[in-house]
Structure 1
Amino acid sequence: MSDKEEDVCSSELVKRIMQGDSKAEDEMVEQYQNGLKFVLNQWTSDREQARDVFQEIWRVVIENIRVGKLKNYKKLAGYIVKKSRLIQLIMSLRKIKKHSLMLKIIKCFTFIFVMFTD
């Protein structure tokens, strides 16, 4: 498919999604899922996180298209990748934050254990 044909296809998909066509949403996922999976697997070695981002990105992209946040319909693929990167980073930060909180809790319990077991 040429770039021009892809632009037309992307524009049509976006317009149909904005009109509430759920079949267009499925078509968009089908059209872009392999490329997105490839990109996500390049960004992270954490397959579980890649799956989570993959699921979340479609929710976010479809929601944003429905409310008209995507202004340049021809840039759909780039928009998907940009949002994916953002979501992947947010999820990584959440994971780090949870890990950091768990370390603080473990340190606290270790301190309490040491204080009360002597």
Structure 2
Amino acid sequence: MRTPVLARFRRVADAQAWAEERLGPAPKKPTWAELELSPQEGWISDGRQVLHFNPVRYSRYSQALELTTGELIPGQAPLLKYRKEIRRDEAIKLWAKKLRSGWQVCTPQWTPPQPLGSGN
């Protein structure tokens, strides 16, 4: 019978070091300062595609934003590709990743539709 992984170690720190060696470091947890900021609506674009972040649920335990993706077509109305609800921490990571890759904050590009799950 095999010994469970945690039983092989005398200290939790040793087990964590073993796991990080094999799996890489644990993801960084957001600080309270990051969590306490209420989510804001935001628009970001690379000149062709646009992402719209819209808060739909905010409480201490449940924070979500609706992500709407659209494509700008010269001389026409924007083509809305898809909408989905994502957790706040995922939205923060996506926003930062897009900014690092050259996307820029922009003005609203369309009138946002009703949030998902609004029943309208």
Q: Which bin holds the TM-score, normalised by the shorter protein?
A: under 0.3
The answer to which structure, 1 or 2, has the higher relative contact order (CA under 8 A, 6+ apart) is 1
- Give the structure with the higher percent strand: 2
- Give the structure with the higher percent helix: 1
TM-score, scaled relative to structure 1: 0.28
